[in-house]
Amino acid sequence: MTSSGLTAARLRAIVLAALMGGAGVVAVVLTSESLEATAVWAGFGPAVGLSFVGTGLYAWGRRPESRTGLLMVVMGFAWFLSTLEYASTPLLYTIGLVVGGLFGGVFLHLGISFPSGRLESAVDRGLVLAGYLIFTLGPVPALFFAGSRELDCDGCPTNLLLVRRDEDAATILLGVGALLLAVLFVIVLARAIRRWRGSDLFERLQLTPVYVCALLTFLLVTADNAGAGDVFGRGTLLFSALLPFAFLGGLLRSHVSHLDAELRERLVELRASRARLVEAGDAERRRLERDLHDGAQSRLVALALLLQTARARARAAGALEVETLLDRAQEELQTSLGELRELARGIHPAVLTERGLEPALQALVTRAPVPVALDAGVPERLPRPVESAAYFVVSEALANVAKYAHATQATVAVRRVDGRVTVEVSDDGVGGADASRGSGLRGLSDRVAALDGTLSLDSAAGRGTCLRAVIPCGPPAG
């Protein structure tokens, strides 16, 4: 058995039973002496029941976690039973009068429990129980006193439950049953409106077609049972034929909204994971910078001091050749130390961690090969991921200016407005830059996107280049 409980054998059995039920409806209708529009009922009668069973089986297979599909199948068979009211034999006719209302009870159960098929509250369970009792047992007391005339069916067979004909008693009891249906309809309508108003947009999309079609059908059934006329009976038949597709459409909308909610949740999780990856990368950069500063750089500085001491002693001893070698070693050491400091700054500048974005940018522009005007209006500290992203946007942009732009000057502007940090780096170079051909800009774009930001490049040939990043950021502290 599958998780849905709908095995192949069970599916075949249900389909076979539904086809037999449809054939039974046709036989009852065509042999009925009380039904006028036999041709209409011979077509619509089995079609309504089969459509409920068919759409219910489809919904049951697609949404096994919901009981709505199962209830739709039960409703189809309840519809087949309801057509026994048109039978020509007294026994089947009487059975139809008693069990025909089961269709209304299942219908109310389906509408209130939609889309899960489960009754979530005691109020809902009470309404459904009341529906089963009113639809099925409500007409029974009147049947003890109602003959064909009281049931407004002169051509119908004998009511086998009739004990004594009493027109007044039958009229009163049928009126009580109709009144109970009307009260139940008002309560269900109020409950449906309250639930619809309290639901969100996606839930309304699935509830609206179901509620509109179901409530109209309920209203027509109530009017028909109250003896309002044949037009309400025909309207009930029409809307009953539309009901299964309304339920199926609402159920599929429910599935779509469920998938949409899952997609949104996964998107939020993906964004959070990307942000965590960026933060982890920045933390690792800071760790490497500290290791280089506190480890390798410190040892190289100590080695430089040792070489300086050895050089002084060699000079004092008159060892000119050794002094010359020590001078060359110290020069190489200073060069290596400078390269190591540049490497440490490239991995993650210590000034960014210790003092913030603006001092780090000031240190960055002073090392640029072209004059750079810095306009950084962000005096307060930003979140670390935002500071790192903004810094590396400027760093990569100025590196590209030095390599490719042939510019004479550049401008760096950083602003924090309306919960967003905007970083803009422009130059007066040759332009023609293409973000898709540079791994550095692609990496920046990924870093900014991980913070829900955007990176844009404007670089028309001969008109310079402007790199702009917009990064969401919370309001300033205080």
State the pLDDT at residue 478. 44
More confident residue, 357 or 306: 357
Q: Is the pLDDT at 104 greater than 80, yes or no?
A: yes
Contact 160, 140 (CB under 8 A): no
Question: Using only C-alpha atoms, what is the Rg of the chain?
Answer: 41
State the pLDDT at residue 353. 75
Cα-Cα end-to-end distance for the chain: 61
Q: What is the DSSP letter of 470?
A: E
Q: What is the DSSP letter of 151?
A: T
**Using one digit for the tens of pLDDT, what is the confidence trace for 154-182?**
778 888 999 999 989 988 998 898 889 88
State the pLDDT at residue 101. 85
CA distance 321 to 84: 121
**Highest mean pLDDT: which of 15-19, 158-162, 234-238?**
15-19
Long-range pairs of 473-477 with CB within 8 A, sequence gap ≥ 24? 473/382, 473/383, 473/386, 473/416, 473/419, 473/420, 473/421, 474/383, 474/419, 475/419, 476/380, 476/416, 477/380, 477/381
CA distance 298 to 341: 11
State the pLDDT at residue 388. 84
**Using one digit for the tens of pLDDT, what is the confidence trace for 63-93?**
788 888 899 899 899 989 988 988 889 999 9
Q: Is the pLDDT at 136 greater than 70, yes or no?
A: yes
State the pLDDT at residue 95. 92
Average pLDDT, the chain: 78
CA distance 95 to 143: 12
State the pLDDT at residue 125. 93
Q: Is the pLDDT at 3 greater than 90, yes or no?
A: no
CA distance 182 to 222: 6
Average pLDDT over residues 457-466: 88
How far, CA to CA in Å, does 131 sit from each of 48, 111, 112, 187, 408?
21, 11, 11, 11, 84
**Using one digit for the tens of pLDDT, what is the confidence trace for 399-412?**
888 888 889 999 99
Q: Is the pLDDT at 2 greater than 50, yes or no?
A: no
State the pLDDT at residue 467. 92
